[in-house]
């Protein structure tokens, strides 16, 4: 029911083809989402209550520090110390404000980054590109294969994974992509590296390991060196997160998502992925480099992330925020 505020979802007249926007704080959204699932509503888009409320990209840059402090307080309940940041989350906010190298804009653009990866480590690490468009209406779905991944070139989770084109609800997807294409990631988690990125939609080859899952290895680099590897799985049914050291020993921390509860097999080409990640991370105080590893052992680049979870990670245990913060070396340290 786009454009109509709903207080009690179960009492609303919502059709199965309507797009439902859930805009509230996390705990309330979870309750609302549960109700939607019980009512078999399929086209659901969650928006954090505080995301996009302020058009940061239109603010004078002199006001950025004040607004990022307000945003951080709303997100975490904590005061942000920009003069003497100590924790991981605080230093990520500092980097957003004061380490805005132009190359970051290219590296965070899922389309333009392809040329960068080709130059740095080779074209064989790229997921094959099927198309790129300025808007959803330009896409000719007849020319796409039965399976593909449709993504915005910016933002997080702005995508549609199509496993069977004959079952793909194009009108519902259009509503979501049209909404995403109106949003600027600068307004979401204050991601300044996206400020000058023109929005596009890309289609890439469908990748899968097994049962619809795709194994995602995220290499957390500090000062150009990998310090730990995050393995994500079970995206379709509830994201699971496991962190490992470079010898593939499970580490006792996570953020925002639970562990899988079982040991993940060490990839036989882990050393290759570490070497690639460190080559790509050279020269940056902090960078996360993501790779997919397919069943045949091939490695495909996923994305770069300078600001994991927007720098408001809910670390478990809490002390990891400061422990990891010590690994980020800033010019003001």
Q: Which of 193-202, 275-284, 316-325 has the lowest mean pLDDT?
A: 193-202
Q: What is the pLDDT of residue 52?
A: 45
Q: Across the chain, what does the average pLDDT equal?
A: 86
- Helical (H) or strand (E) element with 298: none
* Distance, CA of 103 to CA of 311 (rounded, Å): 20
Query: Which residue segments constitute the domains of the chain, with CATH numbers given?
Result: 9-48 (no CATH), 128-206 (3.30.1490), 210-305 (3.30.470)
Residue 31's alpha-carbon distances to 21, 24, 28, 233, in angstroms, are 14, 10, 5, 24
- The tokens 């402090």 sit on which residue? 69
The pLDDT tens digits for 224-252 are 999 999 999 887 778 899 999 999 999 99
Does the pLDDT value for residue 5 go beyond 60? no
Q: What is the pLDDT of residue 170?
A: 95
The pLDDT tens digits for 253-290 are 999 899 998 889 999 999 999 999 999 999 999 999 99
pLDDT bucket at 1, cuts 50 / 70 / 90: very low
pTM over cut 0.75: yes
pLDDT bucket at 108, cuts 50 / 70 / 90: confident
């Amino acid at each position: 029911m786009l454009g109509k505020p709903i207080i009690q979802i179960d009492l609303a007249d919502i059709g199965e083809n309507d797009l439902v926007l859930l805009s509230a704080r996390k705990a309330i959204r979870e309750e609302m989402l549960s109700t939607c699932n019980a009512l078999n509503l399929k086209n659901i888009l969650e928006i954090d209550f505080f995301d996009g409320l302020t058009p940061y990209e239109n603010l004078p840059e002199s006001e950025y520090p004040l607004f990022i402090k307000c945003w951080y307080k709303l997100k975490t309940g904590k005061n942000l110390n920009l003069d003497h940041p100590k924790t991981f989350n605080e230093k990520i906010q500092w980097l957003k404000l004061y380490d805005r190298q132009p190359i970051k804009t290219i590296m965070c653009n899922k389309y333009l980054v392809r040329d960068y990866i080709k130059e740095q480590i080779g074209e064989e690490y790229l997921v094959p590109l099927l198309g790129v468009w300025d808007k959803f209406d330009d896409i000719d779905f007849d020319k796409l294969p039965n399976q593909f991944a449709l993504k915005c070139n910016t933002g997080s989770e702005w995508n549609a994974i199509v496993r069977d084109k004959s079952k793909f609800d194009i009108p519902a997807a259009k509503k979501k992509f049209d909404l995403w294409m109106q949003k600027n990631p600068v307004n979401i988690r204050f991601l300044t590296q996206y400020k000058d990125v023109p929005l596009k939609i890309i289609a890439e080859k469908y990748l899968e390991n097994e049962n619809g899952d795709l194994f995602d290895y995220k290499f957390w680099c500090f000062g150009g060196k990998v310090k730990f590897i995050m393995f994500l799985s079970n995206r379709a049914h509830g994201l699971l997160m496991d962190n490992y050291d470079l010898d593939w020993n499970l580490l006792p921390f996570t953020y925002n998502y639970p562990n899988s509860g079982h040991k993940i097999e060490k990839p036989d080409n882990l050393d290759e992925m570490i070497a690639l990640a460190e080559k790509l991370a050279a020269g940056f105080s902090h960078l996360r480099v993501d790779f997919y590893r397919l069943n045949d052992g091939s490695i495909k680049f996923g994305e770069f992330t300078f600001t994991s979870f927007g720098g408001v990670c809910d670390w478990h245990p809490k002390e990891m925020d400061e422990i990891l913060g010590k690994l980020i070396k800033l010019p003001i340290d």
